[in-house]
Structure 1
Amino acid sequence: MTKISACVITKNEATCISRCLQSVRDIADEMIVVDTGSTDDTVNIAEQLGAKVFHYQWCNDFAAARNYALDQAKGDWIIFLDADEYIAADKIKNVRLVIDKIHGDRRIEAARCLMINLEGVGGSLRSSNPSLRIFRNSQVIRYKGSVHESIYKRGKPVKTINVNNQLIVIYHTGYTKEIVIEKIRRNTVLLEEELRKGIVRESTYYYLSDGYWRNGEHEKAIDFAQKAINHLDRMNNALVYKPYVILISSMTNLKTYSEKTVTAICDEALEKFPHHPEIWLLQGLYYLSVGRYEKSLTSLLKAIETNACYNDFNRNNDFYALSPQAYFNIGQIYEMKNQLAQALDYYAKALQQEKSNQLAFIGLISLIRKQDPADVVFFLNTLYNIDDESDIRFLVENLSRLKVKKVLDYYHQILRSGAVN
């Protein structure tokens, strides 16, 4: 029977390392943890769960740390997870089934499966992407890149199959807004250092554009997004559409580019990626920014439509995290058109995706505040959980600000009575 080594590199991951290791413990013949300097209880937790823990001096190089873990592994196949990732419990049995099925075919060196990114543990869906986390253990298969590291065989991409139909699902819980910003800034510094050394990998320009974009440095983001577009044929296929997202978004934010220029980029992006919801969304947001409301509405609705049937396993899809913005803006446009039932519907959809979306809440309350207070309460209770203190506090704070007194009194009473859990 094929042997499996589960590998993780860690630093101060006490809050999540147990979940990660427990997710693979039943199918792994060994668990390798390479710790890069934890000062919390990470090492003790890993050892208690039966992992072999090795210590590695961090040198600002993720590939080097991962390759050190591979040097310790004795299995025929590797499962390499980040500490804030875990394999879904109802899917873990499929890992060995997949590995046993492909083990005898030497043409297959790795398996790419679905990763679902969550806003923290048990949080909302942020995005999904194909992820290469399973590959043969071989001396010639190693990671390259100090950051956004990838697996190569003798310097060339490994031969990979896709594990479709959600046969294996990896959950990633490290997508809280604070953690993401911190990681992106760290990664951008490492990429800049690589660039100064003349190291340009297939997705270097994209990742730099992404880092500057998320940090609000839109001119730099545009510069590197355009460089990435000029090298699309070299890019990781999962991300190949993304430079257009960054380019359109950054130009929209700067407001210094002509409509002709931006719409030409939108057209080029949609010609290449007509079925990707993020492109339609960014086009809709651009049209909204220049007052082209009907065009904006058409594009935003198209974004939702394409997302509903999107099934391209080979590319990322970050639309889920952006959907509240799409729903809210559609609601606003319908309200401007005096189509109030449609506006109410889309404000509610925005809140179903993101209950703390204040703009959507304001829009919704503006449409229903004159209705019977009992009806307003009934409607709000379909969106919010009266047993959840954070939900009740959100309602009290915002209804107080909006001066919806009788409805506010109802939720205030719940809060004062301590009825929430």
Structure 2
Amino acid sequence: MGPLNVSLCMIVRDEEAFLERCLASAAGIVSEIIIVDTGSVDGSREIAKRFGAEVLEFPWSGDFAAARNAGLQRASGQWILVMDADERLLAVNEAAWASLLRQDTAGYYVKLISYVGDRTGGDYVTDYACRLFRNDARIRFEGMIHEEVVTSIRRLPEPEGIIRPSPITIAHDGYLEPVLARKNKKRRNMDIIREALRRTPDDPVLHYALGSEFFQNGHYAAAAAAFQATLPHISPREGYASDLMLKTAYALRETGERAQARRLVEKAVAHYPDFTDLLELQAILLMDDEQYASSLLPLASALRIGADVQRQYLYNSASGSGTYQTRYLTGLAYERMYRWEDAHEQYEAAIADRADYMPVWHRWPVIALLLGRTADMQRLMYAQAARLPRSAWSLTANVWMNGQQTDALREMAERCEALRAEATVLRAVALAQDGADGQAIDLLLPAASRGNSGDALLYVWALYMKTGASREAAACLKREAGGNPALRAMAGLISGEGAEVREEAYRLCQQTLMQLAAWDCLDALHAQLPAQLPYPWLPLHAMYGYLHAPFASKRELLAQCTRRFAALGYAEQLAAGLLALECGGFAEAAAWFAAAGRQAPDRTAPRIGTVHAHAAMAQEAARGYGLPALSSDYRFLSICDR
């Protein structure tokens, strides 16, 4: 397709890192390029000239609209396309582009995908802005910051002032954290907004912009104050009103004003019933109040809206809203309702939408494990292996090691390219779980001596502990702890020298022993701990792993819980009740759950545990005659309240 009668207009300052990519994305569909340079000292001008751009020098005055309009004044095309250097035009359908330029309209809304976080291709927010419009002297940018042309277009007489949606999409990297830091955008934006407010202190758009800057920086109290000052003066029909109400409610929730947030969301949903981000926030507020069943209603609405591929979104929206993020929130609601199969289904659907959505990977593998669905999870993961990030494999491997999923670990060691460096450890853990400790040590020692196979040396230490080779174990831990004060303290505790043990080192050693099925060593480790610790001494993050421990180890851990009763918190008492159920001590379990309930009377988990304990006692008394089994599974108490 040859260039059409379109002028690409940009303002630029020191953008050599992005400019070539931006210009290359649009050069084939524009007839001229106008660059307004506000003071570049890098190679930006030279890059622009290589693309045949006309470069205008424009001293920076702190006014984005003024700089934009200088470019519009120079443009000669019938249409104007506006972009920033840190943006790129995504593939444009030639026929669709030509058709847009033949329509009788003043301008078009373009979809902006702004990536956030630390990398392109991760999370993003979507927005719509009028970036393609006619070259008309009456159409000009307004606003010192967050400048826009919509206001001037709407002043045009009917029917000229029409702005239509378009299929054009622009990707934007300017909100990535490295870019924000390099350009110091946060400070620059604040300075411009405050100067603009000094000139026009009653401008609601500027107060919205100020609140948005506070919001983006996590200063929610200041954001809420700025937004609340603006809300009474804004019509719900304003283009930014939906985003203003969403951000105000979110900021109120973050500052503890949940009741205000809930009232505002209810009002906002009445105006914007198809705003999926707003529906998600409504569900989150309901979950805050433990109204889990009610939270499913707005989430279901968000999923229906998100499934409508024909719908033109005109809201600022977070990636995944209406799709995988909503699935994740639905899974959380089902977890709180102890509907584990339903939670599993939602998490699986979320991963099908976006395989690298990490919040799901922090929850789904354990639920699949406890449901006995590890094999199903394996099939899904290997089918989508190319889409899965290394962190998803790593989290899952850790759960499978904790949960003694020996066959799954062996397959992962053979098939998972993402964990190729950890394959030796995975094979060794599988061997140890099968009781082949000597083979596991032989496998790990070469890697441990090279120091290039993950935590090989720590696993060798644990295997030496398991096999009674205490001298070799001490040497391993001493070597592993070389530059790690926390592990050095752990070595001191195990050797009997006494030391203050940090939780991180304790959890690492505790988990390694559990993964290798070194249950006797775990018992000994727990017995060596001081009576008072500043953190829970039970492996609360992996109690599901103890479901695979021998009966004697469960009883020993339970005995230690009894000895430490006075120091146990709610979560540890809940875990003790689970252990008692596992050991068949049903009355003992009921006592532990009652104790946990006294510490946290509003929690549901102790009540569920109590029901299971009494049901088990009833089954025992009835000798199995006719009493129905509970449909819930008490083993899920190992991950309740996480």
Which category describes the TM-score, using the shorter chain as reference length?
0.7 to 0.9
Q: Secondary structure at the match of 2:290?
A: coil
Residues 40 and 412 of structure 1: CA distance in aligned 2, closer, same or farther (over 3 Å) = farther
Letter paired with 1:131: A
Q: CA deviation at 1:84?
A: 2.9
| Distance change >3 Å, CA 314–CA 111, structure 1 → 2 | farther
Match of 1:131 in 2: 129
- Whether contact under 8 Å (1:17, 1:42) holds in the other structure is yes
Distance verdict in 2 for CA 1:372–1:296, change over 3 Å: closer
C-alpha separation in 1, matches of 2:419 and 2:306: 42
Q: Which residue of 2 aligns with 1:149?
A: 147
Matched residues in 2 for 1:32 and 1:236: separation? 34
- The within-5 A match list for 1:12-411 is 12-92=14-94, 94-102=96-104, 108=105, 110-119=106-115, 123=121, 126-151=124-149, 157=155, 159-164=160-165, 166=167, 168-179=168-179, 183=185, 186-201=188-203, 203-233=205-235, 237-257=238-258, 259=259, 261-309=260-308, 313=312, 315-322=314-321, 324-352=324-352, 355-369=355-369, 371=372, 375-385=376-386, 391-396=389-394, 399-400=397-398, 403-404=401-402, 406=406, 407=408, 410-411=411-412
| Distance (Å, rounded) in 1 between the aligned partners of 2:42 and 2:355 | 34
C-alpha displacement of 1:331:
0.9
- The CA distance in 2 between the partners of 1:373 and 1:155, in whole Å, is 58
8 Å Cα contact 2:210/2:226 also seen in 1: yes
Deviates more, 1:294-303 or 1:348-357: 348-357
Cα contact 2:154–2:161 (8 A) shared by 1? no
Equivalents in 2 of 1:60, 1:67: separation in Å?
14
Deviations 1:320-364 (A, max 9, x none): 354554322211221233322221122234445554544421211
How much has 1:161 moved relative to structure 2? 2.7
Paired residue type of 1:361: W
Q: SS of 1:45's equivalent?
A: helix
| Aligned equivalents of 1:275, 1:156: Cα separation in 2 | 24
SS in 2 for 1:208: helix
Distance change >3 Å, CA 311–CA 89, structure 1 → 2: closer
1:42 shift after superposition: 2.8
Once the two structures are superposed, what CA deviation does each residue of 1:185-229 show, in whole Å capped at 9, x if it has no partner?
A: 542332122112225545222222222222222222222222332
By how many angstroms is 1:68 displaced?
2.1
1:25 and 1:380 mapped to 2: Cα distance? 41
SS at match of 2:141: strand
Structure 1 letter corresponding to 2:220: H
Is the 8 Å Cα contact of residues 275 and 310 (structure 1) preserved in structure 2? Answer: no
Give how far 1:295 is off.
1.9
State the shift of 1:294 in Å.
1.6
Does the 8 Å contact 1:130/1:238 carry over to 2? no
Return the alpha-carbon distance in structure 1 between the equivalents of residues 418 and 313 of structure 2: 47
Show the counterpart of 1:105. Answer: none
- Judged with a 3 Å threshold, the aligned counterparts in structure 2 of structure 1 residues 238 and 91 are, in CA distance, closer, same or farther, namely farther
Q: CA deviation at 1:263?
A: 3.0
> 1-side partners of 2:257 and 2:85: how far apart?
42
What is the deviation of 1:156?
6.8
Name the aligned partner's letter for residue 132 of structure 1.
C
Change (3 A) 1:244 1:118: closer
Relative to structure 1, the CA distance from residue 143 to residue 317 in structure 2 (aligned partners, 3 Å threshold; closer, same or farther) is closer
Q: 1:52 to 1:96 in 2, by over 3 A?
A: farther
Over 3 Å counting, the alpha-carbon distance change for 1:15 and 1:351 in structure 2 is farther
Please report how far the alpha carbon of residue 237 of structure 1 lies from its aligned counterpart in structure 2 after TM superposition: 3.3
- Of 40-49 and 119-128, more deviation after overlay is shown by 119-128
Post-superposition CA distance 1:18-44 (Å, at most 9, x none): 333233323322111122333443322
Q: CA deviation at 1:383?
A: 4.4
Is the alpha carbon distance of 1:174 and 1:220 closer, same or farther for their aligned partners in structure 2, counting shifts above 3 Å? same
Amino acid paired to 2:266: D
2:107·2:134 contact (CA, 8 Å) conserved in 1? Answer: no
- Displacement after TM superposition at 1:172 (Å): 3.4
What amino acid is aligned across from residue 298 of structure 1 in structure 2? L
Letter in 1 for 2:131: R
What is the CA-CA distance between 1:117 and the residue it aligns to? 0.4
C-alpha separation in 2, matches of 1:376 and 1:154? 55
- The CA distance in 2 between the partners of 1:314 and 1:378, in whole Å, is 35
Residue identity opposite 1:53 in structure 2: V
Same amino acid, percent of matched pairs = 23
Q: Secondary structure at the match of 2:149?
A: strand
State the TM-score, normalizing by the size of structure 2.
0.56
SS in 2 for 1:315: coil
Aligned Cα RMSD in Å? 3.5
Equivalent residue, structure 1, for 2:489: none
Give the number of the structure whose residues are more often strand, by fraction: 1
- Structure 2, unmatched stretches of 5+, are 423-642
Cα distance between partner residues in 1 of 2:27 and 2:93: 13
Q: Secondary structure at the match of 2:9?
A: strand
Partners of 1:214 and 1:271 lie apart in 2 by: 26
Q: Deviations over 1:359-383 (max 9, x none)?
A: 4212111122364765543222244
What is the one-letter code of the residue matched to 1:315?
L
Distance change (3 Å), C-alpha of 1:313 and 1:162: farther
What is the distance in 1 between the residues matched to 2:373 and 2:296?
A: 31
Segment of structure 1 superposing worse, 375-384 or 209-218 = 375-384
Query: Structure 2 CA distance, aligned partners of 1:310 and 1:385?
Result: 25
Assess if the C-alpha contact under 8 Å between 2:110 and 2:169 holds in 1: yes
What letter corresponds to residue 115 of structure 1 in structure 2? K
Q: Which has the higher contact order (CA 8 A, sep 6+)?
A: 1
Structure 1 gap segments, 5+ residues each: 103-107
Which deviates more, 201-210 or 409-418?
Answer: 409-418
Letter aligned with residue 366 of structure 1: V
* Higher share of residues assigned helix: 2
What is aligned with 2:613? none
Give 2:46's aligned amino acid. N
Task: Work out the CA distance in 2 between the residues paired with 1:14 and 1:395.
Answer: 37
The aligned counterpart of 2:437 is: none
CA drift at 1:135: 2.6
* Cα drift, residue 241 of structure 1: 1.0
The whole-number CA distance in structure 1 between the counterparts of 2:83 and 2:97 is: 13
Query: How far has the Cα of 1:111 moved from its partner?
Result: 0.8
Question: Is 270-279 or 236-245 further displaced after alignment?
Answer: 236-245
Indicate conservation of the 8 Å contact 2:109/2:166, yes or no: no
Q: In structure 1, what residue type is equivalent to 2:140? A: R
Query: What SS does the corresponding residue of 2:29 show, helix, strand or coil?
Result: coil
SS in structure 1 at match of 2:386: coil
